[in-house]
Structure 1
Amino acid sequence: MPVYQFPAHLPAGVSAAAQTMPGVYLSPRTVSVEIAPPRTGTPVFLGVGGIERATCLDGRSDIEKTLAKATGLAAYAIRGFFANGGQRCYLLPARGDGAEGVGESDLAELEQLDDFDLVCAPDMAALLPPEQLARAHKRILKWCAQDGLRFAILDGPRTSDQLDNYRKSLARELRGEPSGVASFGAGYYPWLNVARSRPLSASAEAAGAGQVLVPPSGHVAGIYSRSDRNNGIWAAPANDVVVGVLALDGVGSGAGDPQAASAANFNGLRSFRKRGIRVWGARTLSDDPSLVYITARRLLQAVARRLEQVLAPVVFEPNSPLLWARVNRIVSTQLDALYRSGALAGATAEDAYFVRCDGDTNSPQARAQGQVVAEAGIAAVAPAEFISIDIRIGDNQLAVSQQVGG
């Protein structure tokens, strides 16, 4: 992790002019400021009924007091998030067009937050028919793909027949969109049977006495958070026990069919004798072999967020070989830390990553436009091929983009 040096304040009673006075010498001092990496495994729950404004919940919050106000199934999903190892999340009130599930006002409010990397919307799966749910999910996926820094954990409808209709509708919705859009989300199925803690709302369905059926995204988001902390973001959030679940929604009668999850590119949840209920899959919604792994997509996102953070101090630096060398050093430090943590494939660091910021990447045309261009690549453990990262600094802005393959 890089340490940046900032000028220290002058000692009390010594003016800046004293530095130029004969016989007066000040020893330069610096203070070290360590930049903490961006937090991962932090979801925002969209469309939470019963709350009036964006709310952050963490270990210092009165979680139950807040959830007592929430309506629908979101409260169960959020409890599932914390039960499975989640530590921090955001709740956004339901403000979108009900027919669309997520409206412009919802997306605009998301833009105001930056301390999250996951998006969940459990109540949408309960409230919207398959066609409208697919349309809402497409909007979420496209929003996540805009800057490439967020990942959606999506719930399908409850029954296998509805899930099949959803699959066809989502395919139609994504037709014509870039193939990478579908890789910014993963779906999970079936729904979960949990203990009921309140009277059933209109969108909730009883699973038995004192029980209720809940979409799985909140519980799965907790597993993402737990896995990120314990194993690293490059480890698949799969084969982990789902805590706080009584049973999976029953197979048969069109509910919980495990084959339906696979047909829809969803990750199944399975119940194993003596091993409990576990997440049994780690794939995105994409059919592209190079974009199919959750680990590759989220690792890219974490790298991009980190590089944007640590390169921010150089945005106003003069464009010169000195700056190129500094960019090389900063980016190499980050990627080497990834390699040493086991996130990258390769017998040596040279096999695992590369960084280039020099006269070749910075053409005279790019320099004339005030841009500094760097290229980097990482060999993710999966899909076991190089992932390209493009870094552009200029016009007082910094942009990091990613592309799998090549």
Structure 2
Amino acid sequence: MPSYSTPGVYVEEIPVFPPSVAPVATAIPAFIGYTETALGKQGEDLTKTAVRLNSLLEYQACFGNPPVQDMAITVNKRVTAGGKLLGVAVSWTSKPSLPTQFLHYAMQLYFANGGGPCYVYSVGAYGNATKVAFTEAIAALEAVDEPTLLVFPDAVKLSDADYGSVVDAALASCNKTQDRFTIADVRNAIPAGTDDNAEVTSNFRARVSSNTADFLKYGAAYFPYLSTNVPFASADANVTLTAFNLITVADNGSEASAAVPDAAGKKLNDASLDIQGKETAVYAAIHAFIDEACVTVPPSGAIAGIYARIDRTRGVWKAPANVGLNLVIGPAVNATNDLQDGLNIDATTGKSVNVIRAFFGKGTLVWGGRTLAGNDNEWRYINVRRFANFVEESVRKAVGAFVFEPNDANTWVKVRTMIENFLINQWRDGALMGAKPEQAFRVVVGLGQTMSAEDIFNGYMIVEVHLAIVRPAEFIVLRFMQKMPEA
């Protein structure tokens, strides 16, 4: 008790609550890619700066709109002999296949699928992607503590070799910080060449270096791209009229076609044509046609949203799988059971690839929950790795309060009790296996248990935490047999 010398009233606050472990956020992705602009509210340059955002509106305010696509169309306008409009037919001369950049669309899918707070790191304005831009961004984000996921959809624009290097850099960074996880796309996972795109996945596995085999547990890969109902960004100045034909239909049904003079090769906004003013019906038909063209994008943005949604509604210990996707029409490649057999489990490299599949009556579902370390018995599941990250980071920050405290039994009891209370809550939520807490986890700290006298002399306090983390029921086997009639 303090010693008082002056008469009076003194207030002493007595601490009642013991120190506790505060759970850290688990689904705060950092998106890396190219943006239209990168300006803050005061006009400051946000290029190569990690910016925290909470909504798509905030993203657009800082980083602008998606890239405008170049398109080419053919227009056939049908009229009667008297000039009455019968209809307008628009067709593609050159339909855009993929967006020139993916980040903006990835952000749309992220927020549509349950995403919340996130970071965006713009590596520059729309243009050609470079490996250095992404590897430097990944290294720079190591100085930002909050992100727990790394997402880089624009990196698929790189070559196979360079993309593999970026994935390697992300996995190495996650291993270094030990508080984040990589969501990677299988590059070019779209219908091309073969029906199943097996060669694309094999190429992905070959490019993710074996030098980072120990780091594979810090990432997951997803296949294929997603066909969405998000339209391409377009502008009249980027729409070329390959042909504009005026077709006159006679009373007997015969047709006479004539090209509109000087229209071929002109842009939709060409002042000499003034289609918007003179051909209102044609202009409206063109835009209605263009708006039906929707983008196909890598899945990482949507998957990051799924991680955030599952973490918020169930917990980080729940596998982010068997979950439907919003704003998605379906996978760009329809995977079969035979195809997924080779993607989910790869005995040679162990690099599991999670498949997104369409099921009749169920929609488009994430149908895999493995890390790239598919042959690792400890870390083959995403939820196990991410829950371990969550516990490690939460406990690490909480134990920091005991730095320079006396390294004695009193402190050890406080630390052990603090961690045990935290893990009991996780066990009650369903994150740990066991009918009783002692079956779910064990916390050990003390002289002769985790530390020697020399450890204590050198200032080390060593705590061991043993966890029985729940694993997903990946293969559910139902066994049926007939029961013989009894007399």
Give the Cα separation in 2 of the matches to 1:60 and 1:267: 27
Give the Cα separation in 1 of the matches to 2:293 and 2:129: 32
Aligned residues of 2:22 and 2:394 also touching (Cα < 8 A)? no
Counterpart residue type for residue 133 of structure 1: Y
Alignment of 1:254-293 (within 5 A): 261-262=343-344, 265-286=352-373, 287-293=375-381
1:184 maps to 2:218: yes
1:163 maps to 2:201: yes
Aligned residues of 2:232 and 2:291 also touching (Cα < 8 A)? no
Question: Per-residue CA shift, 1:49-96, capped at 9, x if unaligned?
Answer: 333232221049534334534651100011101000011111101269
1:120 maps to 2:151: yes
Change (3 A) 1:250 1:166: closer
Partner of 1:136: 166
Partner of 2:460: 371
1:140 is displaced (CA, Å) by 0.4
| Segment drifting more, 28-37 vs 211-220 | 28-37
Give the match's secondary structure for 2:320. Answer: coil
Aligned residues of 1:328 and 1:355 also touching (Cα < 8 A)? yes
Alignment of 1:21-40 (within 5 A): 21-24=5-8, 26-29=10-13, 36-40=22-26
1:26 is displaced (CA, Å) by 2.0
Change (3 A) 1:219 1:383: closer
Among 426, 430, 444, the alignment partner of 1:356 is 444
1:102 is displaced (CA, Å) by 2.5
Partner of 2:110: 81
Counterpart residue type for residue 77 of structure 1: A
| Structure 1 length-normalised TM | 0.80
Aligned residues of 1:188 and 1:268 also touching (Cα < 8 A)? yes
Give the Cα separation in 2 of the matches to 1:34 and 1:371: 21
1:277 is displaced (CA, Å) by 0.5
1:212 is displaced (CA, Å) by 1.4
Give the Cα separation in 2 of the matches to 1:193 and 1:306: 38
1:367 is displaced (CA, Å) by 0.9
Q: Please list every run of 5 or more consecutive structure 2 residues that lacks an aligned counterpart in the other structure.
A: 39-46, 68-100, 190-196, 236-289, 474-487
1:19 is displaced (CA, Å) by 5.9
Aligned residues of 1:188 and 1:261 also touching (Cα < 8 A)? no
Aligned residues of 2:433 and 2:470 also touching (Cα < 8 A)? yes
What is the root-mean-square deviation of aligned Cα atoms in Å? Answer: 2.8
Change (3 A) 1:43 1:249: same
Counterpart residue type for residue 50 of structure 2: A
Partner of 1:309: 397
Question: Per-residue CA shift, 1:173-211, capped at 9, x if unaligned?
Answer: 123x4x4310100001100112224149xxxxxx99511
Counterpart residue type for residue 42 of structure 1: I
Among 412, 429, 439, the alignment partner of 1:341 is 429
Question: Per-residue CA shift, 1:317-337, capped at 9, x if unaligned?
Answer: 111111111111111111111
Aligned residues of 1:190 and 1:261 also touching (Cα < 8 A)? no
Counterpart residue type for residue 226 of structure 1: R
Alignment of 1:392-403 (within 5 A): none
Partner of 2:314: 231
Question: Per-residue CA shift, 1:155-184, capped at 9, x if unaligned?
Answer: 0112422332121121xx123x4x431010
Number of corresponding residues: 352
Change (3 A) 1:61 1:49: closer
| Structure 2 length-normalised TM | 0.67
Change (3 A) 1:251 1:235: closer
Give the match's secondary structure for 2:378. Answer: helix
Give the Cα separation in 2 of the matches to 1:25 and 1:86: 53
Counterpart residue type for residue 237 of structure 1: P
Change (3 A) 1:327 1:334: same
Partner of 1:380: 469
More relative contact order, 1 or 2 (CA 8 Å, 6+ apart)? 2
1:21 is displaced (CA, Å) by 1.5
